[in-house]
């Protein structure tokens, strides 16, 4: 049996930037095929801040693509775009009825904010962190995994980001 660490948000705490850890069995029986979704999200800005976009993919556990989307965000920092991509992906996963979501991000900063390794110090990023926390209530379980930029699905999300940026900045 393989175990994965899932991160549950603290709803009331003197340290609002920390998350509680919970271990769960990855191969839990009784979960329907599309109740556990895999998310790959990416955000990017040309300039920091600069024109920015967000993109994401949502997959089943069998790597079947259920949804992909991207959108131009206007002027943002790269970190803001990364958060906004994740927020859009979580909103879409909730609309698809997911009970569990495994979120893959190439942003080490955002991943470590969400796992509690790093404290969120920037006021604008804290607002976005709170939006992620608020979206957590839509799911029984949520996890955040930092993956390298060379990951194939992250590269597809990055291509969505660049496509939205190219279309908006021509």
Enclosing H/E stretch for 96? none
Q: What is the pLDDT of residue 170?
A: 83
pTM across the whole model: 0.82
Enclosing H/E stretch for 4? strand 3-9
Cα–Cα distance, 118 to 18 (Å, whole number): 8
- Summarize the confidence of residues 103-132 as an average pLDDT: 97
Q: How confident is the model at residue 4 (pLDDT cuts 50, 70, 90)?
A: very low
Q: What is the pLDDT of residue 98?
A: 96
Q: What is the pLDDT of residue 150?
A: 98
Q: Pairing between strand 36-45 and 50-59?
A: antiparallel
The 3-state DSSP composition of the chain as helix, strand, coil percent (nearest 5) reads 35, 35, 30
- Asked if the model's pLDDT at residue 20 lies above 70, the reply is no
- Summarize the confidence of residues 119-147 as an average pLDDT: 97
User: Over the chain, what is the mean pLDDT?
Assistant: 85
- Each residue's pLDDT tens digit, 36-72: 999 999 999 999 999 999 999 999 999 999 999 999 9
- How many residues are given for the chain? 170
- Each residue's pLDDT tens digit, 83-96: 999 999 999 999 99
Distance of CA 125 to the CA centre of its chain: 14
Domain architecture of the chain: domains with CATH = 3-9+41-168 (3.30.420.10)
């Amino acid at each position: 049996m393989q175990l994965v660490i899932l991160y549950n948000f603290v709803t009331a705490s003197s340290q609002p930037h920390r998350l509680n850890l919970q271990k769960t069995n990855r191969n839990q029986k009784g979960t329907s095929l599309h109740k556990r979704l895999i998310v790959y999200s990416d955000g990017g800005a040309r300039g920091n801040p600069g024109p920015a976009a967000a993109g994401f993919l949502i997959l089943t556990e069998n790597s079947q693509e259920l949804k992909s989307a991207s959108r131009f965000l206007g002027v943002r920092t790269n970190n803001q775009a990364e958060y906004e991509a994740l927020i859009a992906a979580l909103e879409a996963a909730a609309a698809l009825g997911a009970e569990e979501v495994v979120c893959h991000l190439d942003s080490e900063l955002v991943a470590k904010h969400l796992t509690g390794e790093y404290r969120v110090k920037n006021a604008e990023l804290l607002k976005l962190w709170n939006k992620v926390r608020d979206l957590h209530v839509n799911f029984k379980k949520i996890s955040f995994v930092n993956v390298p930029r060379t990951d194939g699905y992250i590269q597809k999300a990055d291509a969505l980001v660049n496509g939205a940026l190219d279309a908006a900045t021509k």
